[in-house]
Structure 1
Amino acid sequence: MTVDNATRLPDPLAASPRIFENDLLDRLSRVHHLTPVVIYVPIILGLLIYSATQLGLPLIVVGVLIGYGLWTLTEYFGHRFLFHPVYPLPFGLGPRFQFLIHGVHHIYPNDPLRLVMPPLLSGPIILIALCVGRVLFGAPFCWPALAGFMTGYVLYDCVHYWTHHGQPKSALGRHVRRLHMLHHFRDATRGFGVHAFWLDSAFGTAYRKDDTPGSAAV
């Protein structure tokens, strides 16, 4: 039985270009958008349950809020200075590295399989956060803080995917999507907070109210 071109199913990788010569690495660079939810939400719940055996509810809430706040700063400054470096990155990390971690997303912004971080990238970030949390807070307070940090990361990835492929209904949703589209299609030197968009106002990288995607950058 043959299938002609008119009835052949679309290639799911047509909008997802190859970026590694190695087949395994290239496959691992593509992830379903629910991957962060599937991997990290059970860990977050486990951390909160364990924290409840060590701490009272007020300290857990404070820890989660601190961890979430630290994620928003990681999101903003990572996007601003690592993903869009003004100066060459240290340690021999040149244009190829920058392209792999973020440049490809600006060239193919709607690639459905590269809109959330693959575990090869998010995993080390979480491990670094764990080490920093142990140093800053010690146990057991580091556990709810880590849960808050990971919650912020999952929200970031979900919002990022949604800004590219969702259909916002609320005024807030349309506002968040507009800001990210401005980052892609007007001025990539602003709008570094994907879900933590308020940090752009705090650090002077917010867009003007009358800016629209596709208009000439000023």
Structure 2
Amino acid sequence: MVAKGFTVDLNKPLVFQVGHLGEDYEEWVHQPIVSKEGPRFFESDFWEFLTRTVWWAIPVIWLPVVVWFISMSVKMGHTVPDIVFHSGLRHICVTLMEYSYIVSFSYQTKSYWGNTMHYLLHGCHHKHPMDGLRLVFPPAATAVLLVPFWNLIKLLATPSTAPALFGGGLLGYVMYDCTHYYLHHGQPKKEVAKSLKKYHLNHHFRIQNMGFGITSSFWDRVFGTLPPQGKDVKAR
């Protein structure tokens, strides 16, 4: 696509190209290219490696962390019902964070660095929605974000409940990321899963400024971003 004399070359690393699109970035990034293999992001092999993650790395890396944090609350005297309550409460908060994260990247950017950051954090997924190695959040980036997340929970909760809240939140994230991957690449048989897949594909291919929920449409209903009735995209 040509934008104000600038051409995005899909055969070259994209991250430092997209900023040059200026105000035309919004239109460009919402014209999806359906391919299971996405483009190269960086010239550097190291940085390129950090952008690619197989889906199963998420539960393999983070579920042991979830178990460890929840076990800390158990050792400090909390019962199983207490743990379920605190973990469940945090999971509900995660679904709101999931919705808020996607909505926060629905704004329009036109500056060089605004476009670049938007593409890195979310725009790349809209441009290449079927890129199987960039559907889940890279573990290195997750680890960085978990540090302030843990410190915030310690500030707001008691020493014994903080680990359960953190573990529940992290479990919610794992469920979100694995569900997101499945909605793109899975072949659901059950009606609930089929409906979720259609709902999310509609967000990518029919009406991209609505239908932000991944694991449910609950917060779309609450905040009025539920897509209008229309022709659904078929689950593929």
Two-structure CA RMSD over aligned residues (Å)? 2.1
Equivalent residue letter for 1:22:
S
1:71 corresponding residue in structure 2: 94
Q: Deviations over 1:161-197 (max 9, x none)?
A: 1111100111100110011101100111111111143
| Structure 1 segment 1-218 matched on structure 2, within 5 A | 15-54=37-76, 55-81=78-104, 83-86=105-108, 94-213=114-233
SS in 2 for 1:167: coil
Q: Deviations over 1:23-61 (max 9, x none)?
A: 101111001111110111001111122211112223212
1:9 corresponding residue in structure 2: none
- Partners of 2:119 and 2:44 lie apart in 1 by 17
CA contact (8 A) 2:36 2:130 kept: no
Percent identity between the aligned chains?
Answer: 31
CA contact (8 A) 1:67 1:146 kept: yes
Q: Deviations over 1:116-156 (max 9, x none)?
A: 00013222332222111111113111111111101110011
SS in 2 for 1:67: helix
The Cα shift of 1:86 comes to: 4.8
- Partners of 1:124 and 1:80 lie apart in 2 by 22
Q: Which segments of 5 or more consecutive residues in structure 2 lack a partner in the other structure?
A: 1-34
2:30 corresponding residue in structure 1: none
Which of 148-157 and 115-124 deviates more?
115-124
Which of 127-136 and 178-187 deviates more?
127-136
Return closer, same or farther for 1:49/1:99 CA change in 2, 3 Å cut-off.
Answer: same
Return closer, same or farther for 1:14/1:67 CA change in 2, 3 Å cut-off.
Answer: closer
Which of 33-42 and 130-139 deviates more?
130-139
Q: Deviations over 1:54-111 (max 9, x none)?
A: 1222321221012111211111101101x2225779xx95110000111111111111
2:10 corresponding residue in structure 1: none
- Partners of 2:42 and 2:186 lie apart in 1 by 28
**Where in structure 1 do 4 or more consecutive aligned residues deviate above 3 Å?**
86-89
- Partners of 2:109 and 2:51 lie apart in 1 by 26
Return closer, same or farther for 1:121/1:197 CA change in 2, 3 Å cut-off.
Answer: farther
Equivalent residue letter for 1:114:
R
Equivalent residue letter for 2:136:
V
Q: Which segments of 5 or more consecutive residues in structure 1 lack a partner in the other structure?
A: 1-12
- Partners of 1:121 and 1:63 lie apart in 2 by 25
2:24 corresponding residue in structure 1: none
CA contact (8 A) 1:76 1:196 kept: no
Calculate the TM-score normalised by the size of structure 2. Answer: 0.78
Return closer, same or farther for 1:86/1:203 CA change in 2, 3 Å cut-off.
Answer: farther
Equivalent residue letter for 2:83:
I
1:6 corresponding residue in structure 2: none
